[in-house]
Structure 1
Amino acid sequence: MGKLNDILEFKNGKAKKTNHGNIPIYGGNGVLGYCSDSNFENVLIIGRVGVYCGSVHIEESKCWISDNAIAGLPKKSSYNYYNYYLLKSLQLNNKQVGSSQPLLTQDILNNIGVQIEFDKEKQKRLVASLLAIDQKIELNNRINAELEAMAKTLYNYWFVQFDFPNEEGKPYKSSGGKMVYNSILKREIPEGWNVDRLQSYINFKRGISYKSNEISDIKGKEFLNLNSFSLKGEFKIEGTKYFIGKYNQESLVSSGGLVVAITDVTRNADIIGKAFIVPNIFEDGALISCDVVSITSERLNKFYLEQLFNSTYYHSYIKYYASGTLVLHLNLNGINWFNAILPPVGLLNQFEEFCKPILKKKAVILKENKQLIELRDWLLPMLMNGQVTVK
């Protein structure tokens, strides 16, 4: 037996604004943005406050840890991936203090008693299988990112550059297709295309409110929340929580539904307004938190809206409808009042047919990741408490 301060030194993070650097800024829910300098390297990141209190991440390279997280630095006698999996096994969210605002402190972490393997080589052997599973999950994530990039590329080509196929199958604008000036957007769009506010074409369904004791990491109904969104708007399976309270069936969002983040804890509003399509990996769909809304439309299909909501142009507009201090909240009028280009239905249908198989391929990979995560989480406590040994 030992205490966490036998293998880790804990330090508080510090507030940091994002800029154009490539060094990740970490908060309790993972990467919040990027900057050009660092305050830690080869470090664990532990959520310090709020809904992500007790979450654990690891970063081998240089990074910046923000003030809503605690840094865990390995002491010489410890292997940091062992420390990472050990902390993951402790369910640190159960060690927090405070009801209205959950909190973890260095003092709490320092004094947690736990069974520790102090031999560094044995530490490496213990977590080798867990690390291999996580590396496979990361490889799958990169494959899905490449699939997503294919849909984004075609969206930009057709609906931003307006080089969709004309009647002869040639790029419309590049081949001299007629463009007309639109006074609302103050730029040219293809002849025959329209522009209108989204409010005439979309419907919202809000997510459900919850208490911290109704959320679980391991059991219950799948619960999509703010941590389900990457900075780019992609679905993060590792952000899935589970709801163990009571709910109505009408609150479920079916697989294939479009969901949008309407709160944000990043300092640059990186996630606010971002969207993803719920993958077909949840039986009977999933619940969404009050930080999320689902959006439906008869005129504009979900594949077009997903790419629109995740575009740089749209995000530079929508983030100004978010307000708050520690947590940003989106005024839904910002979505309603957005002047969107309305492409012809036939072209939207072609885009949908291109994106459908991509969504299916991504779901297959996500299902594999879901199984890998379940295997990892099953092995984790047994390896850490000595029920399973590795020679």
Structure 2
Amino acid sequence: MIFNSSKYNNKWNTKPLTDLGKFQRGKSRHRPRNDPQLFDNGTYPLVQTGEVKAANLYIRSHDACYNEFGLSQSALWPKNTLCITIAANIAETALLGYPMCFPDSVVGFNADPEESSEPFMHYVFTYIRKAIQNSASGSIQDNINIEYLTGLRFKIPLKDYQDKIVAILSALDKKIEINNRINAELETMAKTLYDYWFVQFDFPDANGKPYKSSGGKMVYNPTLKREIPEEWSDKTLSQIANITMGQSPEGSSYNEEGVGTIFYQGSTDFGWLFPSTRQYTAAPSRMAKKGDILLSVRAPVGDMNIANTDCCIGRGLAALNSKIGSDGFLFYVMKYFKQIFNRRNSEGTTFGSITKSDLHSLTLAYPTAGLLNKYDDVVTNYNKMIFERSLENRELISLRDWLLPMLMSGQVTVK
């Protein structure tokens, strides 16, 4: 099978992908793979399949590092290596932003510079990803192997024309990446301010000095079992937020054809800020409103997104909005709770889900109205900038995905 054969590219050469460079499977020989001996005081970045899927064009962050022992049972791959997932998230690809290790659930590709490039192959796999996933679907555990990858056949233009295709598509991806970096910085600024003001209690006092560090009066709160600023109170999440727990539509009536209402049933397709629309339902039950916080109540508990339209939510999600319009504050309250969930997970208390009762009864130190309004004013400006860039990214992604098949089939030519 030739994935991109068309009347427009009949002069391109048909080649197996192995002719374009070298495919090598990642290494993770030691078992168990999560053995602390592999990671204690580690300095060699390790990327997993989930991080490949989450990346846009380049992988520029990692959550784990191998130590010397970990490296000895793996391998360090150079910058710009193309990562291709072959298990779990199949046929997802991204380029290494710096040298990293990866396990045997990932295949690395390094191009022959005379024949192709890693970015071009990234777009090849983006183009054929759905076909690969469909071919693997239905097995006991969906996966593919390196022999499958190296045997794939594709119509390949000359190297200089490949580079022209990459220049167009990567320009869009680089703009998307820049927007994501700016958004991440804005979110970090808002979160840092939340931590200073509402966790460390170093909000500006009447003299503009950090409240707690400058000797502001603290009082013991028996509900929270800790000291909080004198004029503050304790509240439960249900006191400050309207909470809608998801419920799947009757008869599991989902479709991918765009029939009915957008339906989200978990955080799997959560991208940057807005979730990816994959399913619809003609029999919606529980609804979230545009602008609501979408919260994962099943593993991974606490993952969040913003609904960019009215939508139906399944059992894996809850929808929240502020009772007094302070959605910026509420968003970072939930970010704070997410840190607590993650910490409990790391301590061995695994959260498979959070119940309605537990969610409603989450408690927090609640600030004065004036301080809350001051924080919300700042965060509203940040959120506005984040929303604008996120909407721009949706348009850029749509344009890229529209161009990709036409460029790869030769239907659109590049001068």
TM-score w.r.t. the length of structure 2 is: 0.74
Counterpart residue number, 2:180: 141
Stretch of structure 1 that moved more, 53-62 or 27-36:
27-36
> CA offset at residue 383 of structure 1?
1.2
Stretch of structure 1 that moved more, 312-321 or 166-175:
312-321
The two structures, once aligned, show a CA RMSD in angstroms of 3.7
Counterpart residue number, 2:219: 180
Counterpart residue number, 2:17: 4
> CA offset at residue 12 of structure 1?
5.0
Change (3 A) 1:364 1:300: closer
Which of 89, 100, 110 is matched with 1:63 structurally?
100
Stretch of structure 1 that moved more, 88-97 or 305-314:
305-314
CA distance in 2, matches of 1:212, 1:73: 40
- Quick check: which one's strand share is greater? 1
Counterpart residue number, 1:274: 303
Counterpart residue number, 2:108: 72
Question: Given that residues 107 and 146 in structure 2 are in contact (C-alpha distance below 8 angstroms), is that contact kept between their aligned partners in structure 1?
Answer: no
Counterpart residue number, 2:7: none
Counterpart residue number, 1:254: 289
CA deviation string 1:17-52 (max 9, x = no partner): 7776472522143377231455433333334344x3
Stretch of structure 1 that moved more, 21-30 or 90-99:
21-30
CA distance in 2, matches of 1:215, 1:16: 36
1:1-391 to 2 correspondence within 5 Å? Answer: 1-7=14-20, 8-11=22-25, 14=28, 15=33, 21=43, 23-28=45-50, 29-30=53-54, 33-36=63-66, 39-41=76-78, 42-50=80-88, 52-66=89-103, 69-76=105-112, 77-90=115-128, 91=130, 92-98=132-138, 101-117=141-157, 119-167=158-206, 169-183=208-222, 185-198=224-237, 202=241, 203-206=243-246, 208=248, 214-215=255-256, 221=262, 223=264, 225-229=266-270, 235-236=272-273, 240-248=276-284, 250-264=285-299, 272-278=301-307, 282=308, 284-288=309-313, 290-298=315-323, 301-311=326-336, 314-317=340-343, 319=345, 329-332=352-355, 335-391=359-415
CA deviation string 1:195-252 (max 9, x = no partner): 35545655242264898994589x994758424557xxxx355x6142145342x544
Change (3 A) 1:96 1:364: same
Counterpart residue number, 2:58: none
Task: Give unpaired runs (5+ residues) of structure 1.
Answer: 265-270
Question: Given that residues 265 and 316 in structure 2 are in contact (C-alpha distance below 8 angstroms), is that contact kept between their aligned partners in structure 1?
Answer: no
> CA offset at residue 381 of structure 1?
0.9
SS of equivalent residue, structure 1 residue 115: strand
Change (3 A) 1:125 1:275: same
Identity of paired residues, percent? 29
Task: Give unpaired runs (5+ residues) of structure 2.
Answer: 1-13, 56-61
Residue type of the partner of 2:232?
Answer: W
Change (3 A) 1:96 1:147: same
Change (3 A) 1:13 1:306: farther
The count of corresponding residues between Structure 1 and Structure 2 is: 368
CA distance in 2, matches of 1:216, 1:25: 34
Change (3 A) 1:180 1:336: same
SS of equivalent residue, structure 1 residue 65: coil
> CA offset at residue 261 of structure 1?
2.6
CA distance in 1, matches of 2:400, 2:165: 13
CA distance in 1, matches of 2:229, 2:83: 49
